[in-house]
Amino acid sequence: MNRDSALERRGRLTARLAKLAAAGHLAPLARQVGSLGGCARPIRMTGHRTRLDSATGQILDHLDTRHLPAGELLLRCGNRRATRCPSCSNVYRYDTYQLIAAGLRGGKTVPTSVSTHPRVFATLTAPGFGPVHNQPGATSCVCGARHGDSDPLLGTPLNPQRYDYTGAVLWNAPALWARFTTHLRREIAHAAGLTQRTLRHHATLSYAKVAEYQKRGQIHFHTIIRIDGPTGPASTPPAWATTDLLDHAVRAAAKRTRVQHQRPSGARETDGVQASESRVFRFGRQIDVRAIRSTDFTGDGPVTDRHVAAYIAKYATKGAETTTGTLDRRLRFLAELAQHDLTDHARQMIHTAWQLGTQLQHAHLRLRQWAHMLGFRGHFSTRTRHYSTTLTQLRAERTAWRTRQDDPQERTDQGQPVTDQHSDRSDLTAGHTDPDAGHRSGHRAGSRQRGQQTPPW
Ligand SMILES: [Zn+2]
Ligand SMILES: [Zn+2]
């Protein structure tokens, strides 16, 4: 039955393509679709747009999507998740690499002197919430088996009944990172003999970080931390700012970082725990801090800027779904889980987040909204303002490059971004090829239109 309908669909498609080819429409259509650079879920827009010269009121161009070969304007979706759109996530990974690398060696809008500033690459891990199946070097797992790299059991609890799912989800949720950066400033100020308040007159702290999901569903933070002078990357750091000082401060701050959470209400009476008693969350004991060098080193010593940039860029396009086998989109109802092919462990993590989300003391964590991310909310790739250039800047550069390369007709067809001397009147409505696109569908259609029509490089 399914096979028949697939054949029928293919037959109808071939007939339609033949008709388009006969009418001479196939080549323009192929050009329009080709300009998407392989985006798997393009945003489709219908309507019209007029560009005017704001000084003279002269019409520069008018775009009516009905006259485009596809009958609609097609824009790259710009999704950074590799599972959602391989092509757009490649662009995002490339941009992230450029951003991270510029913060280490300079380039783009960052002065090259930044490469002499003290910086480290640190990994902050999560603690354990119960024993899980693993690959302990040359020996076998506690369960007696030797798990292969692709074994779905890896990272899942040895005893799911006794695994601390509540702790596992709540650990992902709290603001440990934000607390860590506060402690880090304090540690650095202390080591320099300054107060936190006066530190900013001497130095600024920049970082770029990415959250990596472990198979067990916990996140680890990989981060580049750099000390600049008082005004950011263009200013010279003070003499006391050394890699050693930064290394010690990161370790000390990670050890001090803790966040408290109220216990889930169900646990109170039965466990004889007071309502006011809270649970403390902190980073795992394993903290890795390394100096970042500009030239190649091998072994366990310092890592290179190239290596670090590639590492961060790689994880910037992977959500929980890649390693943990959870969902890459938000859940609206818990019942939706039944339709998905998930591991029991991922299902239980999502279930726990969903249940905790109903409890008043966890309302601020918005756990239902972030259940598919196993409790972790926000972006898995972030930077401070001074770290490097911005994605917007990189995209503008690419668009400008493309504008110089393309022929004018192509540009008009695809609707290039408007510049300052033009005004833009548009009445475009966004649709999406993906009916299940989740909360980001149609989101900020205007800015996508300007910022994300990017070639796949
Ligand atoms: Zn895409
Ligand atoms: Zn095992």
Residues 6+ apart with CB under 8 A from 298: none
- Closest ligand to 146 CA? 2
Kindly give the distance from the C-alpha atom of residue 442 to the centroid of ligand 1, in angstroms, as a whole number: 13
**Mean pLDDT across the stretch 386-404?**
80
Kindly give the distance from the C-alpha atom of residue 283 to the centroid of ligand 2, in angstroms, as a whole number: 24
3-state secondary structure of 59: strand
What pLDDT does residue 396 have?
83
Lateral strand order in the sheet of 287-293: 303-304, 287-293, 119-124, 219-228, 204-213, 381-383
Contact 25, 67 (CB under 8 A): no
Q: Does position 72 have pLDDT exceeding 90, yes or no?
A: no
Q: Which residues of 154-185 are buried (b: 16+ CB within 10 A; e: fewer)?
A: bbbbeeeeebebbbbbbbbbbebbebbbebbb
What are the φ/ψ torsions at residue 112 (nearest 5 degrees)? -70, -20
What pLDDT does residue 424 have?
53
Kindly give the distance from the C-alpha atom of residue 173 to the centroid of ligand 2, in angstroms, as a whole number: 27
Kindly give the distance from the C-alpha atom of residue 284 to the centroid of ligand 2, in angstroms, as a whole number: 21
Instruction: Report the distance separating Cα 369 and Cα 353, nearest Å.
Output: 9
CA 5, 8, 12 angle in degrees (round to 5)?
140
Contact 264, 166 (CB under 8 A): yes
40 token code pair: 């798997």
Kindly give the distance from the C-alpha atom of residue 315 to the centroid of ligand 2, in angstroms, as a whole number: 26
334 token code pair: 């818990």
Kindly give the distance from the C-alpha atom of residue 90 to the centroid of ligand 1, in angstroms, as a whole number: 9
Q: Does position 178 have pLDDT exceeding 70, yes or no?
A: yes
Kindly give the distance from the C-alpha atom of residue 129 to the centroid of ligand 2, in angstroms, as a whole number: 16
Q: Does position 90 have pLDDT exceeding 60, yes or no?
A: yes
Kindly give the distance from the C-alpha atom of residue 163 to the centroid of ligand 2, in angstroms, as a whole number: 14
Residues in a beta bridge with 261: 279
| Start-end of H helices in 149-295 | 165-172, 176-192, 196-199, 243-256, 265-271
Residues, CB within 5 angstroms of ligand 1 (ion) = 39, 76-77, 85, 88
Kindly give the distance from the C-alpha atom of residue 248 to the centroid of ligand 1, in angstroms, as a whole number: 42
What are the pLDDT digits (tens) for 431-441? 554 433 333 33
pTM assigned to the model: 0.76
Kindly give the distance from the C-alpha atom of residue 326 to the centroid of ligand 2, in angstroms, as a whole number: 20
- Closest ligand to 83 CA? 1
How sure is the predictor about 389, in pLDDT bands with cuts at 50, 70 and 90? confident
How sure is the predictor about 421, in pLDDT bands with cuts at 50, 70 and 90? very low
Instruction: Report the distance separating Cα 169 and Cα 367, nearest Å.
Output: 9
Among residues 183, 225, 212, the alpha carbon closest in space to that of 381 is found at: 212
Kindly give the distance from the C-alpha atom of residue 130 to the centroid of ligand 2, in angstroms, as a whole number: 13
- Closest ligand to 142 CA? 2
Instruction: Report the distance separating Cα 292 and Cα 297, nearest Å.
Output: 10
Kindly give the distance from the C-alpha atom of residue 446 to the centroid of ligand 1, in angstroms, as a whole number: 16
Number of residues in the chain: 457
- Closest ligand to 433 CA? 1
Kindly give the distance from the C-alpha atom of residue 211 to the centroid of ligand 1, in angstroms, as a whole number: 22
Kindly give the distance from the C-alpha atom of residue 341 to the centroid of ligand 1, in angstroms, as a whole number: 24
Kindly give the distance from the C-alpha atom of residue 348 to the centroid of ligand 1, in angstroms, as a whole number: 30
Q: Does position 298 have pLDDT exceeding 80, yes or no?
A: no
Q: Which of 46-50, 119-123, 413-417 has the highest mean pLDDT?
A: 119-123
Kindly give the distance from the C-alpha atom of residue 32 to the centroid of ligand 2, in angstroms, as a whole number: 51
Q: Where are the domains positioned within the chain?
A: 2-79+393-451, 111-129+164-383
Instruction: Report the distance separating Cα 60 and Cα 51, nearest Å.
Output: 5
What are the pLDDT digits (tens) for 5-37? 888 888 988 888 888 888 888 888 888 888 888
- Closest ligand to 437 CA? 1
Instruction: Report the distance separating Cα 120 and Cα 117, nearest Å.
Output: 10
Distance of alpha carbon 243 from its chain centroid, rounded? 28
- Closest ligand to 159 CA? 2
Kindly give the distance from the C-alpha atom of residue 394 to the centroid of ligand 2, in angstroms, as a whole number: 45
Q: Which of 89-98, 146-155, 306-315, 349-358 has the highest mean pLDDT?
A: 349-358
Q: How far, CA to CA in Å, does 25 sit from each of 9, 20, 63, 71? A: 21, 5, 18, 11
Kindly give the distance from the C-alpha atom of residue 281 to the centroid of ligand 1, in angstroms, as a whole number: 37
Q: Report DSSP letters for 353-366, one per residue.
A: HHHHTTSGGGGGG-
Strands (E), 190-244: 204-213, 219-228
Kindly give the distance from the C-alpha atom of residue 81 to the centroid of ligand 1, in angstroms, as a whole number: 9
Kindly give the distance from the C-alpha atom of residue 280 to the centroid of ligand 2, in angstroms, as a whole number: 29
Kindly give the distance from the C-alpha atom of residue 453 to the centroid of ligand 1, in angstroms, as a whole number: 10
Q: Does position 420 have pLDDT exceeding 80, yes or no?
A: no
- Closest ligand to 135 CA? 2
